[in-house]
Amino acid sequence: MVMKMAELPIAPITRLVRNAGAERVSEDASMALVEVLEEYGEKVAKKAVSLAKHAGRKTVKREDIEEAVA
């Protein structure tokens, strides 16, 4: 099995969990959240690209992202 390197840095993700109230966060927990956020982000990005193309644009705009998560 080939492990894909994370696109998102782990430290800010760990801070997100701490900001949510955790006193301590395991590396496994941070990596799990990184994986979830990357998967979700990729789905949102693909939908936003599709919306931009449908509108005849090459540039993905804020409204494409907002519509993709709505």
Domain membership of residue 55 (yes or no) is yes
Domain membership of residue 44 (yes or no) is yes
**Cα-only R_g, the chain:** 15
Query: What would the pLDDT profile of 50-65 be if each residue is shown by its tens digit?
Result: 999 999 999 999 999 9
Domain membership of residue 14 (yes or no) is no
What is the number of structural domains in the chain?
1
Domain membership of residue 37 (yes or no) is yes
Identity of the amino acid at 46? K
Domain membership of residue 8 (yes or no) is no
Query: What would the pLDDT profile of 27-38 be if each residue is shown by its tens digit?
Result: 999 999 999 999
Range of the domain at 47: 26-69
> Within 13 A of 21's CA, how many CA atoms are on the CB side?
0
Domain membership of residue 61 (yes or no) is yes
Q: Which of 38, 41, 14 is nearest to 28 (CA)?
A: 14
| Paired tokens of 66 | 């907002």
- Domain with 64 in it: what CATH number? 1.10.20.10
